[in-house]
Amino acid sequence: MRLVVQGKAITFAHLAHIHQLCASSVQFVQIAQHGYYLANQSEINSAVQQFCADQKIDCAYVENNQFIQNFGLCVMDMDSTLISIECIDEIADMVGLKPQVAAITERAMQGELDFAQSLRERVALLKGLQESDLMRVLNERLQLNPGAQQWIDTCKANNITTLLVSGGFNFFADRVKAMLGLDYAVANTLEIIDGKLTGKILGDIVDAQTKADELVKLRDRLGLNTSQTIAIGDGANDLKMMSVAGVGVAYHAKPVVQAQASYALNFVGLDGVINLFAS
């Protein structure tokens, strides 16, 4: 394994202390402005993990064969992963319902509520909202998370197919796909009649199982094996998708997701994924 440490807080004093904790015979190699790796690690060092957490530094023990050139597919969540907002919460804010909707969203993300049920409940609260309000959310509030474009550009440069699969809405997913230059996007469709939301979703709901199924379907279509796939997400409804991927990355994620992911990024942006797999 190699130990990858990264974060804007990192200093040479941090590196020296981590090196001492590892009792390593090799030196850190710099892979980015705020990213380094230490090769030839035989076991995970809990003291290093605790020190890094205390110092707001991301650390990961990465398998030796996991380099960017060995992957062929990356599947990503949208809300709070590729973008900084939960779209449905911001839509609700337009009609003064954000607290009610956000509370349901949070329970679903923590795994306390069935996602499909919670989504129907939230969308029902939006009945009567104007389609123009969705455009306002898009134009005024939707922002890419730090490092998102750099990560997607790196995927392109390494011939990694990219798929956004979201329990959110294709009104936003299709636009994020265009913004980032993603290959594919799958999300839910809001029913809109005469320019107003009906409070219903058209077709089957994109839930946790759908996310996993979409990853497997595209993986097989591309002729890849499991070890060549990456899934990135932040909420409980990303866990099934991450479990069928070769690598699951928890991005600024809920504790339940971090606990089950291969790697967790809590302090750096999505460009931190590049450093995890840098050679």
The residues near 110 (Cβ < 8 Å, ≥ 6 apart) are 236, 254, 256
The residues near 277 (Cβ < 8 Å, ≥ 6 apart) are 62, 66, 67, 68, 71
- Distance in angstroms (rounded) separating the CA atoms of residues 171 and 138: 9
Per annotation, catalytic residue among 54, 58, 79, 93: 79
- Residues in the chain, how many? 279
Per annotation, catalytic residue among 58, 77, 207, 271: 77
Contacts 24+ apart (CB under 8 A), 30-33: 31/4, 31/275, 31/278, 32/6, 32/271, 32/274, 32/275, 32/278
77 part of the active site:
yes
79 part of the active site:
yes
- Distance in angstroms (rounded) separating the CA atoms of residues 83 and 171: 14
How much is the CA Rg of the chain, to the nearest whole Å? Answer: 20
Annotated active-site positions, please?
77, 79
